[in-house]
Amino acid sequence: MQKDLREQFNGRRILVTGGTGSIGREIVRQLLQWDPEVIRIFSRNENNQFTEYQKLGHHKNIRFLIGDVRDKDRLKRACEDIDYIFHTAALKHVPFCEYNPFEAVKTNVVGTQNLIEVALECGVGKVIAINTDKSVSPINTMGATKLLAEKLIIAAQAYKGTRKTSFCSVRFGNVIGSDGSVLQTFIDQAQMGGPVTVTDPVMCRFIMTIPDAVALVLGASTLSRGGEVFILKMPALKIVDLAEVIIDEIAPTDNVRITFSGSRPGEKLHEELMTREESPYAIEREGMYIIRPLMAGKKSVGSTRKVYSTESTPLMSKPEIRRYLKDRKLLPGFKPELAPPPSKSKKPRVTLYT
């Protein structure tokens, strides 16, 4: 895999939309080791752009572009002469999307279609879009917009005609330790003496770390032939068990308690990553499922119908959760460096515009 990644990205030109978010930052960090010609970090958050500039300003092949996927003209400039696009830009918080539904549509749906059209116009080689488990059998606005975004990506592969661009999508669960994740919320609440707020005692989620998520994304970019959905096999847990482990590990006193606030609007108790209807089109590989395009109608030989959900997956015990967090240095006191170490160059050199 390491050799494949070097061959794929060495000397290439790459665009990362949402490149200053949790997943985007890690994609950039991992791509840098393969010596691409240029990585364009595209996002609308000026403060995050400045923060990343402070970390990555010594890299000669980094470009920082402020822009929004809703703005097709700006996006087209960013896509000029690009070989690969990693599309991570999205509105992702369920309650905010629920109360601002058309804003979610404009970013997650219209923004994705803008990217597809621009990628085809500019002759981009490959587009890898990031998706979420909430797009599977969605009951909330965010999930519905991400489902439609995924459908747009897969449909683009079918209608692109003779253009060289290929499209695929990567679907993962809750990225633990990402910006705004439940893990950080629990840590903050526990360190302040509580209470630690859990929505529902039954609620379960798939989890993965940021490096795991990005490994799937980069792996998908090498395996994809066009039109697939890649799903990482990942552990699942009860949210209340995660909260109890955090309290046991870092709470300053023994009085920190858990309170239950009730499910938020549009929130599921269990999450799915693959539906029963999708499963006949899935190929199982070590560590992942690959769903081939449903429109192609190619079912897997000997396939059986099954659902991949937190209801059908064994849940981690609290000792397993504790070991998972400690092994991955996700508890306070461990701050893994996401940005690469500084180069020998003393003078930062970076282009802040196209």
Residues 6+ apart with CB under 8 A from 326: none
Q: How many domains is the chain partitioned into structurally?
A: 1
CA 279 to chain centre: 22
CA distance 295 to 342: 47
Asked whether residue 354 is assigned to any structural domain, the reply reads no
Return the pLDDT at 106: 98
First-to-last C-alpha distance (Å) of the chain: 32
Domain with 98, as residue range(s), is 2-327
Rounded to whole angstroms, the Cα distance separating 253 from 146 reads 41
DSSP string for 175-211: EETSTT-HHHHHHHHHHTT-PEEES-TT-EEEEEEHH
Q: Is residue 347 part of a domain?
A: no
Model pLDDT, residue 11? 96
Report if residue 120 sits inside a domain: yes
Q: Which residues pair with 63 in a beta bridge?
A: 40, 351
For residue 304, what pLDDT is reported?
62
The conformational region for residue 35 under phi > 0 = left, psi -120 to 50 = alpha, else beta, is: left
Residue 128 lies in a domain: yes
Q: What is the pLDDT of residue 302?
A: 52
Residue 345 domain flag = no
Q: Could you read off the pLDDT tens digit of each residue along the chain, which spans 354 residues?
A: 667 888 899 999 999 999 999 999 999 999 999 999 999 999 999 999 999 999 998 999 999 999 999 999 999 999 999 999 999 999 998 889 999 999 999 999 999 999 999 999 999 999 999 998 899 999 999 999 999 999 999 999 999 999 999 999 999 888 887 877 899 999 999 999 999 999 999 999 999 999 988 988 898 899 999 999 999 889 999 999 999 999 999 998 889 999 999 988 888 899 999 999 999 999 988 888 999 887 665 666 555 668 899 999 999 999 999 999 999 999 885 434 344 444 444 333 333 333
Please enumerate in sequence order all residues whose Cβ is within 8 A of that of 152, keeping only pairs 6 or more positions apart, or say none: 109, 112, 113, 116
134 included as an active-site residue: yes
b/e 32-48 (16+ beta carbons within 10 angstroms → b): bebebebbbbbbbeeeb
Residue 19 lies in a domain: yes
E strand residue ranges, 156-307: 166-172, 174-176, 196-198, 204-209, 229-232, 236-238, 258-260, 272-274, 282-285, 288-291
* Catalytic member of 92, 126, 134, 238: 134
In a domain, 338, yes or no: no
- CATH number, position 191: 3.40.50.720
pLDDT of residue 111: 98
Q: Per the domain annotation, does 75 fall within a domain? A: yes
* CA 4/CA 308 separation, integer angstroms: 29
Q: What global pTM score does this model have?
A: 0.87
